[in-house]
Amino acid sequence: MYGHVYKLAQAVIEGIESVENVEVVLCRVPETLPQEVLEKMGAVEAQKQQAHIPICSVEELGNADAIIFGTPTRFGNMCAQMRQFLDATGGLWAKGALVGKVGSVFTSSNTQHGGQESTILSFHTTLLHHGMVIVGLPYTFKGQSTMDEISGCSPYGASTIAGSDGSFYPSKNELAGAYFQGKHVAQIAKKLMS
């Protein structure tokens, strides 16, 4: 909605692309809020910057070897747009189309204690119901242990703190965490698919 998850996604993609012989597809879930609500929320500019990104269909998920989901945090959970998208994946579940595929999550919240970990962990529930193999952000990413700054990122996945007014953007450390997570997921997916 404001570009924080998109910035993390760009770093995730760079991490994935650092692994040889992988293909990355960036897409977004459908927006469910009316235009007038987006305008009142001040989200129109970020929406314009992301307009070139294609909207994902549920069926496309079945074609991937790994899926890294990015979602803003809303009261300690994924945003409604993502929830609605995932609620439409029953057909994939019935076919077992995501079983054995790698699933990973990253997020953004307004505040340091705004529910980043609970958002990712609650997202994992859906991925586990689909039989996916959960991959997080291991402590081999040393930036998780930084005491030099207030920073997102946890063993569950990369994250950023946007600030209550959305004025903060991912720090170098948070972007490094997203890069690491993308690379880590790609490496694991390659091992599982070989």
Residue 73 annotated in ligand binding: yes
Tell me the C-alpha distance between 161 and 113, whole Å.
9
Say how many C-beta atoms besides its own lie within 10 A of residue 175's C-beta.
22
Phi first, then psi: give them for residue 121, nearest 5 degrees. -65, -40
Which of these, 108, 105, 43, 47, lies nearest to 72 by C-alpha position?
108
Residue 106 annotated in ligand binding: no
Residue 69 annotated in ligand binding: no
Query: 68-91: string of b/e by CB count within 10 Å (b at 16+)?
Result: bbbbbbbeebbbebbbebbeebee
Contacts of 153 (CB under 8 A, 6+ apart): 137, 141, 143, 144, 159, 173, 174, 177
Q: Where are the beta strands (DSSP E) in the chain?
A: 66-74, 77-78, 102-109, 133-134, 159-161
Residue 75 annotated in ligand binding: yes
| First-last CA distance in the chain | 37
- Bind-site residues for FMN: 73-75, 129
Instruction: Point out the annotated binding site for NAD(+).
Output: 2
- Specify binding-site residues: 2, 73-75, 93, 129
Q: What residue numbers does the annotated binding site for substrate cover?
A: 93
